[in-house]
Structure 1
């Protein structure tokens, strides 16, 4: 059976699109950023009729052009892989955050820079004079391990009853605490320059309203160590209104208190007699009586336009202090 190889190759080739893509306007490339910009106008008719198919074809063609541009770069082979060194990017991309500032120098780095001291890496192994062998500076079987010192020589004019092992342990703790304090001090010194300061209040002007002046006065009073607790008040100054703190009960925990609260709510709902505010009811009753009395007087015509109440004249009208008429 004869097989037509050319037909098989053509059929296989027809499954894949050609790597040659033609554009009316050539794309703008930034191979360093793997970026290609297509300035050709879109086909609006194709966008409306077959949007997804048109966009997929456009993305495929532009990606093929970018890959063709990458294959034009010099190629290297390493470990059975083909590598391409991308050129320097030409498009400046914006950063999400500003460039981090360099960290400040610590106290030791400042001193070493002033004195010209260069940092030299310490060797890990140290020669032990007592054992005449090389031992690590730290870690397992290190030199001058305090566990190996089972005896401490008491110096002259020293207290022979003092525990020098405990004294060494305390000195070690003090050194660790001192180093930690220095580390935190270096951190605070380096971060002092970038610390945010509190914003200043707006300056006082003649055009400020009463509310703005009162608000500024309240803020100035609270800007003390006691948050205005011991600040003296001006004469006839109103007491500032503060928001009441509402006490929120725990979500879970005191089951007895929660049960008592639920029973109180249930009893108030299922109670036959309504809870009446006596003072409020009395005030309403008095207001209702006054309203009905006023309506009754208006209906009888006491306050009508034709009838006016008589004006009573003062007894000592036209007289002096003694009640006599003036001449």
Structure 2
């Protein structure tokens, strides 16, 4: 018996020896930020152990630093949340940069304000409910939901209602009206929170509509009929709506050849009317003016050449004194002596 007890104690001692102590000593204390759950180790790395057994050394170093961080967390005050004990983290010491800005708090809807005023808390419904018809648990919504097999094949007609009225259709219309009412309330909340500036198609209801909003709503309501408001009665002082667009009328196809020819000729006239017309008298006058300007330019150019030749002959000292082109040289060639006649 003593041998069995001794072996058990030895095995327990070996098991405890395999686990390290929770107390870790460091030459330089770690810089611990409990708010971010971060511990910074400033101690130098032992190069001898790091080079010989790198992975083992890093594992021991990470274990010791994590143990110091957990020891600091367990020293914080605690509280109970949903049957669990959690530590109350202090304010963060290290500022960590964010990729995106902090989201702004969304304004409360009317229902949220009313629930806060009346101290109404939202309770989460269970996804699975018991179905008495099939005697099994089924999802509350979606495919094969609870009560899916139980369908009303007959409805009671109230005494005050019309006996020939379709009660199924009446129930469907009431449901659609409730859905539309909820959507209307949702749009009102969105418009109130965004001060009426809502992107999208159509007009959304607002608590305080302005004059332009009312005019656009009136114009859309007037054009919601089958005739687009063409035969609706208007007030005596009502002005036509502006900047609401203009629809083109579709041309009806006809088998009459004369009507088709007339329509084609009208299109041709429109095309030709856009082209600039040719004024023959203006074109002839412009052509004659260009020719006269050219002839005057040529005459003036000839006069300039004549003036230039005379000025060159006056300025040359060799000319007129028996030169190559003088009268004396010509007389010598013709008469032989070049004397006076």
Task: Name the TM-score, length of structure 2 as normaliser.
Answer: 0.34
User: Whose helix fraction is larger, Structure 1's or Structure 2's?
Assistant: 2
Larger radius of gyration: 2
Task: Name the TM-score, length of structure 1 as normaliser.
Answer: 0.35
